[in-house]
Structure 1
Amino acid sequence: MPNLSRRSFLAASLAATTVRSLPALATRTGGGRRILTLVYDKSLGMMRAVDRLVP
C-alpha cells in the first residue's frame, strides 16, 4: 500500500469524483443516490473515501 500524502489523497479523491460524474465513463444505476463519506481507517492511519449507493 503506497504511503499517500494529503495532497495525493485529495488528488485521488478528485479523480474518483470526476470519473464518477462523467456519464460516458461511469455506469448508470437507476433511481439510486450516491453518498460519498470520508472515514478514518486506523490500519492505513489516514482518511479514505467510501462511496455508497442508497435507494
Structure 2
Amino acid sequence: MAKLTRRGFIAMTAATGVARSLPAISTRVGGRRILTLVYDKSLGMMRAVERLVP
C-alpha cells in the first residue's frame, strides 16, 4: 500500500467521491451519501466510510 500524507488521502478520497457520484446524479432516487473519514488503527492510516442516508 502506498504511503499517503493526510492531504494526499483527502485529495484521493475527494476524487473518488466525485468519480463515483457523477454517473449517479442522473439516476438518483433519494437519500444522500455521507462520507466520513476515520482512523483505522489496524491499517495505521485514515480510511473513508460511506453511508447512504434516506
When normalised by structure 1's length, the TM-score is: 0.67
1:14 aligned to 2:14? yes
Two-structure CA RMSD over aligned residues (Å): 2.0
**SS in structure 1 opposite 2:24?**
coil
Moved over 6 A (4+): none
Q: How does 1:24-35 map to 2 (within 5 A)?
A: 25-26=23-24, 28-35=27-34
What's the counterpart of residue 41 of structure 2?
42
Equivalenced residue count is 53
When normalised by structure 2's length, the TM-score is: 0.68
**SS in structure 2 opposite 1:3?**
coil
